[in-house]
Amino acid sequence: TFMEKYNPKRELAPRDIVARAIDHELKTTGAQCVYLDVTHLDQDFVKSHFPTIYEHCLSIGIDITKEWIPVVPAAHYMCGGVVVDENGRTDIEKLYASGEVAYTGLHGANRLASNSLLESLAISHFAAEDIRQNFGSGESVPPVPPWDTSGVFDSHEWVVISHNRLELEHIMWDYVGIVRSDRRLNMARDRIEKISCEVLDFYSKNPVRQDLVELRNLVSVAELIVRSALARKESRGLHYNVNYPYTSEEFKKDTILKTS
């Protein structure tokens, strides 16, 4: 196994180490994927302990009890998010957040397997209890008005939305992905700034539509991620910068961004 070159725990090493190792192997060998081999395990054990992945792979023609599983790194989880307290409360009154959108501080610079599900269940429960205790059941909530998409749509111009979204995805994966560098992060920042200007200009001149709002929000989050990555002059957990390959006591803290 190639993982022996990177960590004595091999495939059981922390996920950021495994992801960087796979990324390095793919880039240096030109391979499309690496493989996970579980064919040495008892078939009934695999089917009972990993039923979801077994059924999914079988549906695309791979029997993992007999064949290797192709593996590539992917964007799987966001450790950051909207800052909340232990009850899921944000700093905006009556606004709560839970799940992957929330930053609770539980995971630090990396996430241990399965902790995200427990976090989501716990914070959602605490948020529900906090709402029940602090807001009366008879308190009225103003209705949300229907989404108004009226206006003049120029079908020839709306291709900008799908194009910019695809471009943003490529920028984030290629320049702000598993292995980062100051050069790539700065390139990403410059490109995202241009996309942001285009999207905001488009937003001001066209009717609001879901895909437009989503792209605007994606661009905002991308900008925050890149700014945070550039500000951290070290490598820690999921954030690995080749220009600063080691941890630094100076940055042994969370990165919290606020509006000025």
pLDDT at 158: 82
Rounded to whole angstroms, the Cα distance separating 71 from 35 reads 6
State pTM to two decimals: 0.82
Give the tens place of pLDDT for each residue, 195-233. Answer: 999 999 888 888 888 899 999 999 999 999 999 999 999
Residues belonging to the chain = 260
User: Mean pLDDT in runs of 10 for the chain (260 residues)?
Assistant: 90 87 90 94 95 96 96 86 95 92 88 84 95 79 77 72 94 92 97 95 84 94 95 93 95 87
- For the chain, domain boundaries: 2-71, 82-134, 159-251
Using the structure block, give the residue that is written with the tokens 């590539």.
72
The active-site residue out of 10, 15, 191, 216 is 15
Largest separation between any pair of C-alpha atoms in the chain: 64
Distance of CA 231 to the CA centre of its chain: 19
Q: What is the pLDDT of residue 116?
A: 85
Is-contact 22 74, C-beta < 8 A? no
Residue with tokens 């009154």: 93
Amino acid code (one letter) for 82 = V
Q: What is the pLDDT of residue 190?
A: 98
What is the DSSP annotation of 79-140?
A: S--EE--TTSB-SSTT-B--GGGEE-SSSTTS--TTHHHHHHHHHHHHHHHHHHHHS-TT--
**Given this chain, do its domains 2-71 and 159-251 carry the same CATH topology?**
no
Do 227 and 255 contact (CB within 8 A), yes or no?
Answer: no
Provide the pLDDT for residue 9.
92
Query: Catalytic annotation on 15?
Result: yes
Specify the CATH number of the domain 2-71: 3.90.700.10
Chain centroid to Cα 202, Å, comes to 26
Kindly give, in sequence order, each residue whose CB lies less than 8 Å from that of residue 218, ignoring residues fewer than 6 positions away: 165, 168
159-251 maps to CATH 1.20.58.100:
yes
CB 239 within 8 A of CB 229: yes
CA quadruple 77, 83, 85, 89: dihedral positive or negative? negative
CB 240 within 8 A of CB 179: yes
pLDDT of residue 46: 95
